[in-house]
Amino acid sequence: MDKVLGIDIGGTSIKAGMFSTEGELQATAQIPTGEIVGEADFAVVTEGLKKLLEDNGATADDVVALGLDVPGPVDDSGKVGMLPNIKLDPEGLQAALKRAFPHANLAFVNDANAAALGELWQGTAKDASSFVLVAIGTGVGGGVVTDGKIVSGAFGAGGEIGHITVNRDETASCGCGRKGCLEQYASASGIVRVYEQECAARGTEPVALSGPTDTLSVFNACSTGDEAAQAAISCMCDYLGYALAQISVIIDPQMYLIGGGVAGGFKLFDEELHAAFRKYCLVPSKDARILPASLGNDAAMYGSAFQAMHG
């Protein structure tokens, strides 16, 4: 009874899924973690995974593959680079998992790349040979798939779509230290920032926002005719369409998938984003499709499992 585990590592917990080798998600579990840097932390993870298996009629010996996604670069050899947002000892965790699951093939993958692989395996991009996933949340990440394989790059920076320079005149710095990155305009925080700037320029009050990434309120305002919100969404579409056009002259994918929290408003900006892409792209690429991703927050879990089996 072969099983595959896909593990989505977050800052305060991990989300684990138990899959069949055919890609059926059979059970999930949330395992509170916090830092994962010592033997006690590793034990929390391994015991949580064993409980998931035992609760669903399986054991550690049934696990043939185990994949983990992390919010940072992972190179072609599977080596984890910087992890700016979580405290994790990947080598220590890997050793603990090997001891706990001796028959399992282990793999690490970048979280955005994992989401792309999940969509390739069981989502919108199933059976597609080439596509690019754009994960739009607090930041902008990406996963590039060509010939059915993820492009992680020699140094793990493949797919860092959020850091394509789209505005060379920008004076504010991106979180990466550069200026004019796509993430400054197309991320949830970027959309809210531009919206507030547009309100200030017009002398109008912004709608009530629950925080610096509350794009839902901006989208709702846009749908009711708020001109500042419409301008912020247009700004996002223009820069995102421009960035996708630049990707197309290098990768020329069949499709782009929009994932992450901002994808919930896809219907609102679908046509405008397509128009911006066609405005900037090379003519042969104009028929590339732009679609919403379908697996939602489970995509990275699916993709981690897939990478462990096929990576």
Four-CA torsion 208, 212, 215, 216, nearest 10 degrees: -50
Q: What percent of the chain has pLDDT over 70?
A: 95
- Give the residue from 71, 68, 55, 59 showing the smallest Cα distance to 16: 68
> 254 in helix, strand or coil?
coil
Evaluate if residue 242 carries a pLDDT over 60: yes
Evaluate if residue 77 carries a pLDDT over 70: no
To 10 degrees, what angle do helices 266-280 and 227-248 make?
50
| The predicted structure's pLDDT at residue 115 | 92
Evaluate if residue 70 carries a pLDDT over 90: no
> 100 in helix, strand or coil?
helix
CB atoms within 10 A of CB 192: 20
| The predicted structure's pLDDT at residue 9 | 86
Strands 3-9 and 13-19: antiparallel
Average pLDDT for the chain: 91
| The predicted structure's pLDDT at residue 85 | 55
pLDDT band at 156; cut points 50, 70, 90: confident
| The predicted structure's pLDDT at residue 290 | 97
Whether the CB-CB separation of 140 and 309 falls below 8 Å is answered with no
Evaluate if residue 81 carries a pLDDT over 80: no
Distance (Å, rounded) from C-alpha 252 to C-alpha 303?
Answer: 22
**Mean pLDDT score, 36-46:** 92
Lookup result for tokens 């820069």: 239
| The predicted structure's pLDDT at residue 268 | 95
| The predicted structure's pLDDT at residue 82 | 55
Evaluate if residue 46 carries a pLDDT over 60: yes
Distance (Å, rounded) from C-alpha 215 to C-alpha 219?
Answer: 6
Distance (Å, rounded) from C-alpha 241 to C-alpha 229?
Answer: 18
The H or E element containing residue 235 is helix 227-248
| The predicted structure's pLDDT at residue 65 | 97
Instruction: Report all structural domains of the chain as residue ranges with CATH numbers, in order of start.
Output: 3-117+298-310 (3.30.420.40), 128-293 (3.30.420.40)
- Residues 160-212: tens digit of each pLDDT: 899 999 999 999 999 888 999 999 999 999 999 999 999 999 999 999 999 99
| The predicted structure's pLDDT at residue 69 | 87
| The predicted structure's pLDDT at residue 10 | 77
**Mean pLDDT score, 104-119:** 91
